[in-house]
Structure 1
Amino acid sequence: MNANHLSSQVTKKIIHVDMDAFYASVEQRDDPKLRNKPVAVGGGSDRGVVAAASYEARKYGVKSAMPGVIAKRKCPSLIFVKPRFEIYKQVSHEIREIFYEYTDLVEPLSLDEAFLDVTQNKLGILSATKIAKEIKRKVKETTGLTASAGISVNKFLAKTATDIHKPDGLTLIPPENVTSFIEKLPIEKFFGVGKSTSEKMHRMGILYGKDLKQLSLERLKSNFGKQGQYFYNIARGIDERPVVADRIRKSVSAERTFEKDHRQESYLQDFLTGLIDKIFEWSKKNENFGRTVTVKIKDNQFRIYSKSHSSTLPFKEKELIHKVASQLLNDLLYEKKYPAVRLLGFGISTLTKANEGDLQLTIDF
């Protein structure tokens, strides 16, 4: 990390908190019979998917997003439980209230993880590590669950630190250790470097942070496109993204995986109407309407197709949304010669508050 840049970041104190196997841990907490056993939240049927796996299940290679059939094959003793998202939301709210005791600069990433900027905190505690320890203790006392935390001078380093020791971990990367930490870090441990990218980097001879740091910005951009700038920066410990409280939601969607595949357009159109109703109710309640409408399907070969239509003004009339979405679905089905549809999804994006833009909008097809 550049010394001048480091000096400008010394005052930043960022904590990343990640609940340990959150959904599965809630289930184990609430049902003593599940404790210390391999648990998967999700479906174990032919069409089921693992939403979360306990650490006991992870030892067998069970992971989130894995088909239930494969998960059961890897771990024959695996216990499947149905997700209870309302409960998870309640617990997440309890945890977030603990965060707000220390700072209002809380940026949730999901129900089970968040960034906190505690540089200027409500209690005037100078040590970010002390705050992280207190948060972990209060989360345990309040919810009965464990959390892992990473502390450093920016988001990238705090997030990376969290993943070093899990579960129930606490890892600090102080300013004076940033350069040596990054240079010794295996490239696959870098946040934002996925499996395919790490494999490509390995082929290029990039095994550790020190190797990544040797590459010029031009070479990184030529090999990784827009991500090149990001890799150039993180190799030097640079991440200037602020912790954004109450982050603006950019999209909202709903989807459903069917019990059996469907080809009949009338059935799919009827189901699409239900998804539109759900999203439109959210839009009205939150006074937030989208300027882009998207329909997505997944066929029985797990191939995903989608079509979108955008407007300069937000879609504020359900009938118009339905007209647009219905045509998009019809186009998808016709182009793909009416495939066997496994999943149907609908979403809106480029969200705009209700007082921005006119109410009337006409679309010609």
Structure 2
Amino acid sequence: MIIKHTICPSCSVGCGINLININEEVLGTYPFKKHPVNEGKNCIKGRDCFEIINNQNRIKNPLIRKNNNLVESNWDNAIHLIAKNMAKYSNNEIGLIASGNSTNEELEAIRNFAKKQGIKNLGYFMGNLPKYLGDIASLDEINHADFIFVIGDVLKDNPLIGRRIIIAKENGVEILGVDTVNNSITQINSTQYIKTDSISQFLEKNSSEFLDKLTESSVILFNKLDEKNDIEKILELSKEKKSKIMPVFKDCNSKGAMNYFLPLNSQELETLIDNVKVLLVFQDDTASYIRSLAFKGLDFLAVTASSSNKTTDLADVVLPGTCWAEKDGSFTNTVGTQQMFSRAVLAPEGILDDAVIIQKIDEQLNNSQVKK
């Protein structure tokens, strides 16, 4: 039995976990006792994250669409088909969607590829959370806050941050929760909870009534917004009260992806897709949060993924990619800490990192047989 330390891929908190590896098969996890983020604790998503590796829907060979069905192919044919279709169109007719599930190193390779090819229609999904590179509260500042304002169900979606909020409440800190739903985990654990029809409306009209307790020792946490400009209202509130803010992002490297790509919401992604004929999607299930109809105008869709999903079902070419445990790299967690990790298990034969896939596409595009 070999124990491999890694970073949990389930959300952006960046907990340390250990993978239990027996004969190159990961059979379970347990929390890394001395990790500063989760302090030896684990949530159910972290406990079960190893199932990503052994997913029954794992893609193990390149797939090419023939007669409206995806059939197994090989790397040479799949890469050639991608390059051939890219070569048919101008750079302005090609789009690229990255993912907060990729490592920083893969994202850098994808960005450099896009820059080299002159691809300008690109981004990644962040809901309505905008690009934010300003100061972020530390995890310890949650522990020592005098008042905590939570937007969204952070306690459900990000349990190890939720744990710190609950401990703060047990120590007498008042927790104000605001969301558009009832019966959330955050609602149950808040000192006061406000169900609102609109987060934007609450921030615009009701904040002064409920948020007078914010001070320079307070923290504002949020993992959802109605509109991108809601961040401006939060920043204004933070500046006025001198409070700290903590945007809690969805994917394990959403924060890191901000250094390479523009975060987009679903409407902006649909606009991107509407404006291109060829779309490359790297490790993102784009079809799970935008209308499948948005893909109808594409002439060609290529997707890298470790397991089949709604987007691979629509693709013309699917390339099997490694999951986080099968590669070296780094994630940047929600508070901006870059955490390195090493490969914990061998990938199935024939599955490649996105950085290698990008290199193969680039090399094929340089081939005179597919040049524009």
State if a TM-score over 0.5 links the two structures: no
TM-score (norm 1): 0.23
Q: Which has the higher helix share?
A: 1
TM-score (norm 2): 0.23
Structure with larger Rg: 1
Q: Higher RCO, 1 or 2 (CA under 8 Å, sep at least 6)?
A: 2
